[in-house]
């Protein structure tokens, strides 16, 4: 016989916690599967662009290659350098992985389909993406090796440089919306997606996400030619795997952020049939998939920037232009009386 206190405990304390855990798993588990198959899709797309076959041995058309890579990392021995700071060395990849998944808590997949619909979702997502540099800095310093340390310093300078421009880009969107809530930003794009009136800011933001995620052509922190894979060169097995998963999860997160800010989130391109028949979350994932394809396309096409070119683009081109565009946007909204709530 179940007494009233037990029922009260489950209804008041245990069940809400279980529900939150299930919601988190409903986001994290598909994300990890998507990350696994993103690595396969990247290799397949690049192979097609370069007239190669890509993975085609493990399973039909190579579809089990991602699981084979994961199994290999799990089975390998984790090697910790003798002179390293072992606690920081092991904590760095874990921090990178956790931060890459934490940002998804505020990303709206559809109307009302979000884990935490907080009023400062933009600030939360921007802060989480900015904290990602700590895992890389910790890995480079704790390895007690020159090449990882140089890669960590490069990453810190690179991410700080481009976050300034990203901040100004986000300000232009917030001026047009009047809210820090990500769902409100999507809803405000029902008439026109922001990438049309703010097209230069859209381009700057997307290029900055390449630098923020250390992706080609801005993968200077792990440049194989001069740094022998940079900050992660001393890592092996699943410690390396967590960095690997964190990088691709960050690609998904930044693509989702770009989709929410500029591509209308879950909104269809035209508010007419048959576009409205497709669920909003399908449109959301299609837009994210397109941006991920562009990530791979750029990697297969462009050569790596030199470090001085990277810094010049961030500080001498993106920063003044994005600041100028903030002034132009604010002026236009005031002149034409388009300010939100005015």
pLDDT at 120 > cutoff 80: yes
Of 310, 299, 152, 313, residue with least CA distance to 216: 299
**Same domain membership, residue 255 and residue 232:** yes
User: Would residue 214 count as lying in a domain?
Assistant: yes
The per-residue pLDDT for 118 is: 84
What pLDDT is attached to residue 289? 93
Range of the domain at 112: 83-335
d(CA 246, CA 32): 10
Please list, residue by residue across 97-116, b when 16 or more beta carbons sit within 10 angstroms of its beta carbon and e when fewer do: bebbbbbbbbbbbbeeebbe
R_g (Cα) of the chain, nearest Å: 22
123 and 174 housed in the same domain: yes
What is the average pLDDT across 233-249? 85
Report pLDDT for 9: 53
Kindly tell me if the per-residue pLDDT of 227 is higher than 60.
yes
In a domain, 342, yes or no: no
Residue 297 pLDDT: 92
Query: Last residue of some domain: 56, 75, 94?
Result: 75
Q: How confident is the model at residue 294 (pLDDT cuts 50, 70, 90)?
A: very high
Q: How confident is the model at residue 207 (pLDDT cuts 50, 70, 90)?
A: very high
SS (H, E, C) 2-29: CCHHHHHHHHHHHHHHHHHHHHHHHHHH
- The residue-averaged pLDDT of 244-256 equals 89
Indicate if 30 and 154 belong to the same structural domain: no
Find the range with the poorest average confidence among 114-118, 200-204, 217-221, 223-227. 223-227
Could you please report the per-residue DSSP string of 252-308? HHHHHHHHHHHS-TT--SSSSTTGGGS-HHHHHHHHHHHHHHHHHHHHHHPPPPPHH
pLDDT for res 224: 64
| Rounded percentage of the chain residues whose pLDDT exceeds 90 | 18
The alpha carbon of residue 287 and the mean position of all alpha carbons in its chain are separated, in whole angstroms, by 14
Q: How confident is the model at residue 172 (pLDDT cuts 50, 70, 90)?
A: very high
Tell me: do 107 and 54 sit in the same domain: no
Mean pLDDT of the chain: 85
For the segment 71-84, the average pLDDT, to the nearest whole number, is: 84
Token pair listed for 170: 């986000």
User: For the segment 13-26, what is each residue's pLDDT rounded down to a tens digit?
Assistant: 677 778 878 888 88
How long, in residues, is the chain? 342
- How many structural domains is the chain composed of? 2
In this structure, the answer to whether residues 230 and 135 fall within a common structural domain is yes
Residues 59 and 91 in one domain: no
**Amino acid 262: pLDDT:** 92
Question: Residue 56 has what DSSP assignment?
Answer: -
State whether 210 and 314 are in the same domain. yes
Selected residue with higher pLDDT from 227 and 60: 60
Q: Is 272 exposed, middle or buried (0-12, 13-18, 19+ CB in 10 A)?
A: exposed
Residues 10 and 111 in one domain: no
What are the pLDDT digits (tens) for 295-312?
Answer: 999 988 888 888 888 889
pLDDT tier, 341 (very low <50, low <70, confident <90, very high otherwise): low
Average pLDDT over residues 202-210: 92
Residue 293 has what pLDDT?
Answer: 94
Is the pLDDT at 256 greater than 90? The verdict is yes
What is residue 8's predicted lDDT score, i.e. its pLDDT?
A: 58
Residue 24 sits in the same domain as residue 100:
no
Residue ending a domain, choose from 52, 75, 98: 75
Paired residues of 110 in beta bridges: 113
As to burial, measured by CB atoms within 10 angstroms (0-12 exposed, 13-18 middle, 19+ buried), residue 241 is buried
Within a domain: residue 122? Answer: yes
Do 54 and 96 belong to one domain? no
Q: Which of 54-68, 79-93, 217-231 has the lowest mean pLDDT?
A: 217-231
The pLDDT of residue 208 is above 70: yes
Q: Which residue among 75, 94, 128 closes a domain? A: 75
Question: Is residue 12 very low, low, confident or very high in pLDDT (cuts 50, 70, 90)?
Answer: low
Question: What are the residues facing 113 on neighbouring strands?
Answer: 110
300 class by beta-carbon count within 10 Å (0-12 exposed, 13-18 middle, 19+ buried): middle
Task: Find the Cα–Cα–Cα–Cα dihedral 174, 179, 180, 181, rounded to 10°.
Answer: -130
């Amino acid at each position: 016989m179940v007494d009233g206190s037990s029922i009260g405990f489950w209804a008041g304390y245990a069940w809400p916690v279980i529900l939150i855990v299930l919601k988190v798993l409903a986001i994290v588990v598909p994300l990890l599967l998507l990350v696994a198959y993103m690595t396969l899709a990247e290799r397949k797309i690049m192979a097609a662009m370069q007239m190669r076959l890509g993975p085609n041995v493990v399973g039909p058309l190579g579809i089990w290659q991602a699981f084979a890579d994961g199994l290999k990392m799990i089975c390998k021995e984790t090697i910790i350098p003798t002179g390293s700071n072992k606690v920081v060395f092991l904590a760095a990849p874990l921090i990178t992985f956790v931060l890459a998944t934490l940002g998804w808590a505020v990303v709206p997949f559809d109307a009302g389909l979000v884990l935490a619909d907080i009023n400062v979702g933009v600030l939360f997502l921007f802060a989480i993406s900015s904290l990602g540099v700590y895992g890389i800095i910790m890995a480079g310093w704790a390895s007690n090796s020159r090449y990882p340390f140089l890669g960590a310093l490069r990453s810190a300078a690179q991410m700080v440089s481009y976050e300034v421009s990203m901040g100004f880009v986000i300000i232009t969107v917030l001026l047009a919306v009047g809210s820090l809530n990500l769902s409100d930003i999507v809803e405000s794009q029902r008439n026109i997606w922001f990438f049309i009136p703010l097209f230069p800011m859209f381009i700057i933001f997307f290029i900055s996400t390449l630098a923020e995620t250390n992706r080609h052509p801005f993968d200077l922190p792990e440049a194989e030619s001069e740094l022998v894979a940079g900050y992660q060169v001393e890592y092996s097995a699943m410690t390396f795997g967590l960095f690997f998963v964190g990088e691709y999860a960050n690609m998904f997160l930044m693509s989702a952020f770009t989709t929410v800010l500029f591509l209308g989130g879950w909104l269809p391109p035209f508010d007419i049939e048959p576009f409205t028949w497709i669920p909003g979350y399908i449109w959301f994932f299609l837009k994210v998939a397109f941006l991920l394809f562009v990530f791979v396309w750029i990697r297969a096409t462009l050569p790596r920037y030199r470090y001085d070119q990277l810094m010049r683009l961030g500080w001498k081109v993106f920063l003044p232009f994005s600041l100028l565009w903030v002034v132009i946007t604010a002026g236009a909204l005031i002149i034409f009386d388009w300010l939100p709530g005015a």
